Amino acid sequence: MAHNKNGYLTHSHPKTLIIGVHAPYNKTTNIDSYFQEFVHLVQTNRTSYNHELFLRLREIDPRTFFTKGKLAEIKALCDKEEIEEIIISEPLTVQQERNLKEYLHLKIYDRTRLILEIFEKNAHSAEGKLQVAIAMLTFDKSRLAGQGIFLSQQAGKIGNRGPGETLKERETRHIEDTILKLKRQLATSHKARETQRKRRMVARVPLVCLIGYTNAGKSTILNTLTKSSVLAENKLFATLDTTTRELFVDHKKIGIISDTVGFIQQLPHQLIDAFKSTLSELQYADLLLHVVDISDPNWQSHIKVVHGILQELDIDKQMLFVFNKADRITIDEPLQQALEHYIPHVIIAATDKEKTKPLKDFLQLWHSQLPTTF
Ligand SMILES: Nc1nc2c(ncn2[C@@H]2O[C@H](COP(=O)(O)OP(=O)(O)OP(=O)(O)O)[C@@H](O)[C@H]2O)c(=O)[nH]1
Ligand SMILES: [Mg+2]
């Protein structure tokens, strides 16, 4: 809401309700932190919303996602508050989204669309934009396919292929053609990067890659280690484009370091697919720095999410756990014990130069132990 010049309240965006759901499949240890992450996603994508609702679902209705009782509660709230748009923390199937829309008579945004929109806003390079466009179109295509029954019901009764079906086929083909065209463009820009990479391989320059959950502090670490000024901010998916810089430790160049897109639980598979070629760069890393925000109560589930995505990308590399944001918490005995499960690791605070020393020391040692071919 905002005040106009006469002092009246106006809302320039649709009246929005956000619903954080604790779904039965969600094994997160700290649900409050999961909900906060959802609110953070919403805030990253747009400035405001009007109402929030957090609820626990004991089961999921395959047709409407929410069970009957919960759905009635939501409808009553939407009617009372004249809600025009709902954003839900979970991914919905095409049918669930459509049924909810029909029942509630308002716009529904699910987790997948929310994350895709953030990616769309944050893509700056030509390559990033292409990748996001491919993911968006793939999502649209799946939504269109789900309208199959509806469109064929619109179709004429003569023959099997009515006009509705033809329209759907035509739109699907148009999307497929566009995706193909974008993929070709993407392949061309990858070739240029491939050439660069080969040149580095010939020169035997060690490559260190920063990976981790979104907002863990990857870009902040890149900035402190390389004196560069990559955008680092308290937003989810601030970084989408890979940035590579020369890596100096104690004034000695020891290799190059790359920062890239962060991960999140239930990252839409359309995005994983679209970013696969960028992320496959990780295959050439000599060392992965897995950055973890240990001030987040869900840090261990975040590690699992990152490992899951690495597995999906078939990447198995030497890894250092970089436990970051240590300035925000006290490391008590139980936390210390939990950290010991992840070896090797360093504990740092990227925003405080003094507190990045353990990482610099590790890198120096690692570099001194590299085979002499480097
Ligand atoms: N207190 C504290 N804040 C930190 C630390 N490291 C990073 N931050 C803050 O955490 C936020 C996210 O940092 P980024 O470096 O952008 O995180 P990222 O992992 O690159 O995030 P994405 O690119 O969005 O995936 C920023 O507001 C940083 O200032 C730290 O050690 N301590
Ligand atoms: Mg970043």
CB contact at 8 A, 93 and 86: no
Taking the centre of ligand 1 as the mean of its atom positions, its distance from the CA of residue 73, in whole angstroms, is 38
Q: Are residues 64 and 211 in the same domain?
A: no
Taking the centre of ligand 1 as the mean of its atom positions, its distance from the CA of residue 305, in whole angstroms, is 18
* Rounded CA separation 339/346 (Å): 10
Q: Are residues 222 and 356 in the same domain?
A: yes
Most informative mutation of 45, 220, 231, 323 for ligand 1 (most atoms within 8 A of CB): 220
Most informative mutation of 210, 215, 279 for ligand 1 (most atoms within 8 A of CB): 215
Residue 340 lies in a domain: yes
CB contact at 8 A, 332 and 356: no
Question: How high is the pLDDT of residue 27?
Answer: 84
Task: Find, among 139, 96, 103, 104, the residue nearest to 120 by Cα.
Answer: 139
Task: Find, among 137, 63, 53, the residue nearest to 88 by Cα.
Answer: 53
Question: How high is the pLDDT of residue 165?
Answer: 62
Amino acid identity of 236?
L
Q: Are residues 105 and 244 in the same domain?
A: no
Residue 115 lies in a domain: no
* Rounded CA separation 217/341 (Å): 21
Amino acid identity of 218?
K
Question: How high is the pLDDT of residue 2?
Answer: 43
Strands (E), 260-318: 287-293
Nearest CA to ligand 1 atom 11: 234
Ligand 1 atom at minimal distance to the Cα of residue 214: 25
Last residue of a domain, which of 56, 89, 109? 109
CB contact at 8 A, 147 and 168: yes
**Lining residues, ligand 1, CB within 6 Å:** 212, 214-220, 232-234, 236-239, 262, 324-325, 327-328, 349-351
Nearest CA to ligand 1 atom 8: 217
* Rounded CA separation 234/216 (Å): 10
Residue 80 lies in a domain: yes
Question: How high is the pLDDT of residue 47?
Answer: 62
CB contact at 8 A, 87 and 53: no
Number of the ligand closest to the Cα of 223: 1
Nearest CA to ligand 1 atom 28: 233
Last residue of a domain, which of 109, 142, 173? 109
Taking the centre of ligand 2 as the mean of its atom positions, its distance from the CA of residue 180, in whole angstroms, is 29
Ligand 1 atom at minimal distance to the Cα of residue 240: 23
> For the chain, how big is the Rg over CA atoms in Å?
24
pLDDT, tens digit only, all 374 positions of the chain? 444 444 444 446 789 999 999 999 998 889 999 999 999 999 999 768 999 999 999 999 999 999 999 999 999 999 999 999 999 999 999 999 999 999 999 999 999 999 999 999 988 888 889 999 999 999 999 888 766 544 444 444 444 555 556 778 888 899 999 999 999 998 888 887 778 778 777 778 899 999 999 999 999 999 999 877 777 788 888 888 788 899 998 888 899 999 988 999 988 888 888 888 778 889 889 999 999 999 999 999 999 999 999 999 899 999 999 999 999 999 999 999 999 999 999 999 999 988 999 999 999 999 999 887 66
Domain with 295 in it: 203-368
| CATH code: domain of residue 62 | 3.40.50.11060
Entry pTM = 0.88
Number of domains in the chain: 2
Ligand 1 atom at minimal distance to the Cα of residue 263: 25
Ligand 1 atom at minimal distance to the Cα of residue 223: 15
Question: How high is the pLDDT of residue 4?
Answer: 42
Which secondary-structure segment (H or E) carries 314? none
Which secondary-structure segment (H or E) carries 51? strand 51-56
Last residue of a domain, which of 76, 109, 142? 109
DSSP letter, residue 77: H
Question: How high is the pLDDT of residue 9?
Answer: 43
| CATH code: domain of residue 320 | 3.40.50.300
Contacts of 72 (CB under 8 A, 6+ apart): none
Question: How high is the pLDDT of residue 6?
Answer: 42
DSSP letter, residue 281: G
Q: Are residues 102 and 245 in the same domain?
A: no
Residues with CB under 5 A from ligand 2 (ion): 218-219, 238-239
Nearest CA to ligand 1 atom 30: 325
User: Hunting for tokens 């090797």 — which residue is that?
Assistant: 344
Beta 85-88 vs 51-56: how paired, if at all? unpaired
Q: Are residues 95 and 217 in the same domain?
A: no
Ligand 1 atom at minimal distance to the Cα of residue 221: 15
Q: What are the beta bridge partners of residue 16?
A: 85
Q: Are residues 216 and 347 in the same domain?
A: yes
Residue 187 lies in a domain: no
> CA distances (Å), 26 to each of 88, 333, 369, in order?
14, 27, 42
Amino acid identity of 284?
Y
